[in-house]
C-alpha cells in the first residue's frame, strides 16, 4: 500500500464526524487543487481529534504544503455534557473540561504528519486577527452556531488567495438534515461573487476564489 493509502485508511479509524466519502473528497479536492505545486499554506478551522487533518495532511504532504489545524480543543456546544455529541472519554479528569488536544496530538503523531500538520491552539478569531499569511486552502468546520460560523467566514475567507480553495463542511440544503449557519455562509460566499462552486460531496462544498 502507498503512503497515501495508509493515511486514508488510518483517517477512517480516527474519532470524528466526517463520513469517509466526504473525507476522501476533502483529500482529492486539496490534492487536485495543489496540482503537484510545491509548498502552500493551508488551514482548517475545527480540528477535533484530527480526522480531517489526516485527510488534508495526506494531500499536503504530497505537495510540501503545511496544514495549520486550529481549535481551542474544548469542543463546540453540541459536544458538551448533556448534548448529542458528548464523549466522556475526552474529558480531562484534572479539570473536568472536554479536551481533544491529547487525542489530536496522538493522531498526528501516529500518522507521522508532525512536520506537515501544525496545531494552532486557541479561539479561532484571536488566531485569525494575528494570522497574516495568505491561504491556498481554507477548510471551515469550526463552531456551527450562527455567531461563530459567520465570524469565521468573515475573519478567514479574505485570507484565501485568488485561485485558492474554500471548503465548508456540514452544508445542509434541507434544514431537516442540520443547522443553517454553514449553509448560509456557503451561500454568502457564492453571492459575494468572490467564490464559485467547484465540487460537492455529501455536506462538503468545495469553492474556489475568483475575485
Which residues of the chain form contacts with ligand SAM (CB under 6 A)?
16-18, 44, 46-48, 51-52, 71-76, 100, 123-124, 141-143, 148
Reduced to 3 states, what is the DSSP secondary structure of residue 144?
Answer: coil
Quickly count: other Cβ atoms within 10 Å of residue 1's Cβ. 8
Q: In what order do the strands lie in the sheet with 204-209?
A: 117-121, 66-71, 41-45, 135-140, 160-168, 204-209, 195-201
Select 84 or 191, whichever has its Cβ closest to ligand SAM.
Answer: 84
Least CB distance to ligand SAM at residue 193 (A):
27
Select 52 or 157, whichever has its Cβ closest to ligand SAM.
Answer: 52
Quickly count: other Cβ atoms within 10 Å of residue 85's Cβ. 12
Least CB distance to ligand SAM at residue 117 (A):
12
The answer to whether the beta carbons of residues 103 and 50 sit under 8 Å apart is yes
Select 74 or 180, whichever has its Cβ closest to ligand SAM.
Answer: 74
Give catalytic residue positions. 144
Least CB distance to ligand SAM at residue 51 (A):
3
Cell numbers that stand for 133 in this block: 499569511
Amino acid at each position: 500500500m502507498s503512503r497515501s493509502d495508509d493515511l486514508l485508511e488510518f483517517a477512517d479509524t480516527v474519532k470524528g464526524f466526517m463520513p469517509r466519502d466526504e473525507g476522501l473528497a476533502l483529500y482529492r479536492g486539496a490534492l487536485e487543487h495543489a496540482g503537484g505545486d510545491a509548498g502552500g499554506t493551508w488551514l482548517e478551522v475545527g480540528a477535533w481529534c484530527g480526522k480531517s487533518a489526516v485527510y488534508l495532511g495526506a494531500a499536503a504532504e504530497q505537495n510540501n504544503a503545511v496544514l495549520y489545524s486550529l481549535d481551542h480543543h474544548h469542543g463546540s456546544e453540541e459536544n458538551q455534557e448533556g448534548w448529542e455529541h458528548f464523549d466522556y472519554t475526552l474529558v480531562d479528569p484534572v479539570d473536568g473540561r472536554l479536551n481533544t488536544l491529547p487525542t489530536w496530538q496522538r493522531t498526528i503523531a501516529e500518522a507521522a504528519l508532525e512536520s506537515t500538520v501544525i496545531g494552532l491552539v486557541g479561539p479561532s478569531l484571536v488566531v485569525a486577527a494575528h494570522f497574516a499569511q495568505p491561504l491556498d486552502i481554507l477548510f471551515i468546520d469550526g463552531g456551527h452556531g450562527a455567531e461563530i460560523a459567520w465570524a469565521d467566514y468573515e475573519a478567514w475567507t479574505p485570507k484565501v488567495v485568488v485561485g485558492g480553495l474554500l471548503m465548508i463542511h456540514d452544508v445542509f440544503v434541507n434544514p431537516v438534515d442540520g443547522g443553517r449557519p454553514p449553509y448560509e455562509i456557503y451561500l454568502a460566499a457564492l453571492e459575494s461573487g468572490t467564490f464559485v462552486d467547484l465540487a460537492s460531496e455529501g455536506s462538503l462544498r468545495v469553492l474556489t476564489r475568483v475575485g
